[in-house]
Structure formats: structure tokens, C-alpha cells
Amino acid sequence: MISRQVLNRASPYVFIAPAVLITSIALVYPVLQSIWLSFHEWSIGTPPDQTRFVGLENYRWLLADRAFWTSVGVTLVFAGAVVLCETVLGVGLALALDRELRGMSIIRTIFILPMMVAPIVVGLIWRFLYNEQFGPLNQVLTGLGLPAMSWLSSPDLALVSVIIADIWQWTPFIFILSLAALQSLPSSAIEAARIDGASPWQAIVFIKLPLMMPVIVVAALLRLIDAFKVLEVIYILTEGGPGLSTEILSLHIYKTAFVSQQLGRASALSNLLLVMVMAITLALVAVNHLRRVATRRADAAEG
């Protein structure tokens, strides 16, 4: 007979076992496979038994590759810019639209729409908008007597254009999460702040934003992780060009794997990307945690 206590203690593990199993098959196995592959040289089309063990050669080659470092730079600029803009815009919109006016729910729904569009379609929409001859953007510009812009073909402007498209698509994500956070705030605390003399701005800065912060941090983190992995929109808009000006890492990986057909190097690249994303995520989580510990200390010191 197994005692009841043992059963009780075992039950949580029984319940999470299926999830652990599926995760390890779907997530851990590919990662291990990719790590294994990154130590080998293997081209598409050659049989697996022709793979050759090369040790750290793939990594050494990558770290010496200018294109890799350019791509890292582009990725960081892209991810940093989109997450920053989307967070500021999304939270700002949520704060602005959090009121009970007629038609507000329709406006909110419209703001959410871009997120529902498939990335490929988003790419096509913006390629049309950015088209230098027939695109609406340039037609408006020339209509106003301004010079037409080479949105996607100028190395300086292309990254900005790509960033704008991503902001258009993903600001709604931050927006809906912030709005949900905002609407679940205790309304009486905000009323108390009004009575305590807070202007609408002060209520936002001292009450609403701090209370929304946990949600904002998680939403921004999700966006950050996602921003490191965008592929379709940029692929359709610029294919990474002109030059390498919009070649973010995921696109670089794609090209290494399927254009240059170097699967070993592509795997090494993926692993570096994984490490980067993980490092940044952990760093942000740690900063957030330290901040909380610090306020806690300050509380204790004050009392």
C-alpha cells in the first residue's frame, strides 16, 4: 500500500509530467539537435552520413565574420527601437482610450486589427505603401510638394521603414494588454488619488503606471523576444537589403541555411541568437527583481 501522503506529494508531478514530456520532445530535442549540428559541417542535399565534425570552427568563423556583426547590430537596433516605440505608443494609447465614451469600443477594436493580419500580408501591404512610384505614401508626399522618398531602397531609410511596419503591426499587442491592466486597476485607488490632489498626469505617473508596470514589463519582454525572431515582413519588404542594412539575425540565419546552404553555420547562428535572447531576458528579469528588492529595502529602512 502506498500511503496517502506519498500519493499527495506525488500528485503535482503526475500532473505536470505530460507537459514536461511534450516540452522536452518539442523544444529540448530540436535545441539539442541544433547544438549538435553547430559542431558539424553539413550542406543541404548531402546525405547525413557525409556530415563532418569540425568542433568550434563554425563559431570561430562566425565571430570573425563582418556580416554577422553587422546583422547583430541591425537586430539590436531593430529590436530596441520597435520595443521602445511600441511600449510607449501602446501604453500611451491605452491611457488615452481608457474612458467610457460612445463608440470607444469600436475605436479600440480598430486599433487591435493590425495584430490580426498575417505577417506575410503585412509585408505585402507595406511594400505597396512604400512603393516608390505608385505607393500612397510617396503620392501624398509629392502631392504636398515634398520630394518622394526611397523608402526601401535607401540604406539609411530602409531600416526605419521596416521598424515602422513592425510598430504598426505590434503596437496593438502592448495596447490591449495595457488596456486590460488599466481596466483591472482598483478604481477607488485612482479616485483616492484624485481626492489627494493628483492631477490626471500625476495620477498616471504615481498610481496608474506603477500599478500597470508588471504587465507592461511582461508585454515588452514578449515583444522583445519576438522582435529577435521577425522574418516574414522584412523578407518581403527588403530581403535584408539594401546591402545588409536590414538583415536582422533571423534573416541572416535563413539565408545562411537556405541560400548559402551551410546548415552547420546556420545552427551555430541560431544558437548564438538563442543565447542572446536568453541573456537579455534574464537580464531584464533580474533588473526587475533587483528593483523590487531595492524598494523593499527602502521601505524597511524608512520604518
Partner 1 sequence: MPRIAIKRLEKRYGDVPVISGLDLVMEDKEFTVLVGPSGCGKSTTLRMIAGLEDVSGGEIWIGDREVSSLEPKDRGIAMVFQDYALYPHMNVAQNMSFALRLARMPRAEIDARVRRVADMLSISHLLSRRPRELSGGQRQRVAMGRALVRDAPVFLFDEPLSNLDAKLRTQMRAELALMRQRVEKNMIYVTHDQVEAMTLADRIVVMNGGVVQQQGSPQELYEKPANLFVAGFIGAPAMNLLSARLVSSSGGPAASVGDLVLPLPERLQDRMSPDSNIVVGLRPSAIKPAGVGRGELPVNVLLSEYAGAHSLLIGDCAGQRVTVEVTSEDVRRGAGSALFSFDPEQLHVFEARTGDAF
Tell me which residues touch partner 1 (CB under 8 A).
186, 188-189, 191-199, 202, 206-207, 210-211, 299-303
Q: Which residues pair with 262 in a beta bridge?
A: 43
What's the min distance (Å) between Cβ of 286 and partner 1?
Answer: 20
Of 117 and 211, CB closest to partner 1: 211
Find, among 208, 178, 180, the residue nearest to 192 by Cα.
208
What's the min distance (Å) between Cβ of 87 and partner 1?
Answer: 19
What's the min distance (Å) between Cβ of 175 and partner 1?
Answer: 23
Of 97 and 198, CB closest to partner 1: 198
The dihedral region occupied by 132, where left means phi > 0, alpha psi between -120 and 50, and beta the remainder, is: alpha
Which residues have CB under 8 Å from 45's CB, separation 6+? 261
Contact of 132 with 151, CB cutoff 8 Å: yes
Of 198 and 274, CB closest to partner 1: 198
Residue with grid cell 500597470, as numbered in its chain: 212
d(CA 143, CA 137): 10
What's the min distance (Å) between Cβ of 292 and partner 1?
Answer: 10
Of 30 and 210, CB closest to partner 1: 210
Find, among 223, 246, 243, the residue nearest to 235 by Cα.
246
What's the min distance (Å) between Cβ of 195 and partner 1?
Answer: 5
Of 9 and 297, CB closest to partner 1: 297
